[in-house]
Amino acid sequence: MLSVPKESNEVLPQNFFMAQAVTGKGCFDSYLAKIGRRETASCRCSRNIDETPQHVLEECPLYAKDRPAQLNIAESSTRNYLINTVKTLWKLEREDRRRHE
Ligand SMILES: [Zn+2]
């Protein structure tokens, strides 16, 4: 999936949202389901597809807006896309939780 260049230590900002996009931890339902924070790992676009970083960042129609044709972490367009998408996921996650309270 996402290719991280060798010199990524210089390129990667120490950014909370960015780290989650790269590691797949934090906001993806595939991860939240694994740690018991969500009942299902499936994406909001389909019950049959898990909300993994690869799916969300590369395939999911719900997050296609502003998605660069090629994800390249050395480019700011990719970094902005990753950060904004992870922020969106957190927002959705918060709204879901509120709905279930
Ligand atoms: Zn999806």
Amino acid at 95: E
CA terminus-to-terminus distance, the chain: 35
pLDDT of residue 46: 94
Q: Distance, CA 54 to ligand 1 centroid (Å)?
A: 10
Q: Distance, CA 42 to ligand 1 centroid (Å)?
A: 8
Residue 18 in 3-state DSSP?
A: helix
Q: Distance, CA 76 to ligand 1 centroid (Å)?
A: 23
The continuous run of DSSP H or E covering 87 comes out as helix 76-100
How does pLDDT run across 10-62, given as a tens digit for each residue?
Answer: 555 557 888 888 888 888 999 999 999 888 999 999 999 999 999 999 999 99
Cα dihedral: 31, 77, 63, 100 (round 10): 50
Model-level pTM greater than 0.75? yes
Amino acid at 65: K
